[in-house]
Amino acid sequence: MPFGLFFDYNSIGGKMEILKKFNIITNNKQLYEQAFSHSSFCNEQGLKNNYERLEFLGDAVLDLIISEYLYQKFYLEEGKMSKLRARYVCEKALSEYALSLNFNKYIKVGKGEKASGGQFKKAILADTFEAFIGALYLDQGLNQVKSFVKRVIIPIIEDNKIDFFYDYKSSLQELAQVHHHKIEYEVINQIGPSHNRKFTVIVKIDGFKYGVGIAKSKREAEQEAAKNALLKKIL
């Protein structure tokens, strides 16, 4: 674990110490409490502010920091930098960062969501990680977030042993070309507000449905659909 987080939640307004190894004295505990509050919990408690707005902000801040790092570290063309960035800010990667920091212990979800293991769901873990980034940015500023990212994410990028974002689409396309099959992706559903949308995508091979993917972005949903198709070993 890169570093420890130490929370003391007695209630949504409970006392909290955060990031002791960073020696951070928070100026706004409520920001972090909000960052760990899922909409299902807030709905049950009659609270207005769940983590979604902080998630929106944290997503943009994280993209900026990782983009700047890749720009300075590697001399790559735009497309390759985008692909590399996606490997480390995709839902799976973000959820793994959150788990490594034991965020699942601090996420507050409603009773129904808790019963279904909500604190361990990839989407909720990933959203919470982005919300935490947003809270840290508002509380401590960009440089402190960079320090956090440098400790948590940059070592994984530099180690280059973990690929959170295997390119299933490319693998499926390569197989299809060998066997002269036609691959198509189709978005069949979109739900949620613009800052917290879920896409459902199907992949068709020669017009027949072979895989379904659901994710926060169209690109990741396509990857999930391709993965499901490959698991069926249909080519």
CATH class of 168-231: alpha beta
State the pLDDT at residue 9.
37
pLDDT in tens, the chain (235 residues): 333 343 443 333 333 544 565 566 787 888 989 999 999 999 898 988 999 999 999 999 999 999 999 999 989 899 888 888 888 998 888 988 998 888 888 899 999 888 888 888 888 999 999 999 999 999 999 999 999 999 899 998 888 766 676 678 878 887 887 778 889 999 999 988 776 788 999 999 988 998 999 987 888 888 889 888 888 765 5
State the pLDDT at residue 2.
38
Q: Where are the domains of the chain?
A: 20-159, 168-231
Establish whether 8 is a catalytic residue: no
State the pLDDT at residue 14.
34
Domain 20-159 annotated CATH 1.10.1520.10: yes
Given a contact cutoff of 8 angstroms between Cβ atoms, the answer to whether 33 and 7 are in contact is: no
- The DSSP string of 135-202 is HHHHHH-HHHHHHHHHHHTHHHHHH----SS--HHHHHHHHHHHTT--EEEEEEEEES-GGG-EEEEE
pTM, 2 dp: 0.69
State the pLDDT at residue 4.
37
Determine which one of 33, 52, 55, 59 is catalytic. Answer: 59
State the pLDDT at residue 54.
97
Those residues with Cβ within 8 angstroms of residue 210's Cβ, 6 or more apart along the chain or in another chain? 203, 204, 228, 229, 232, 234
Determine which one of 130, 139, 222, 224 is catalytic. Answer: 130
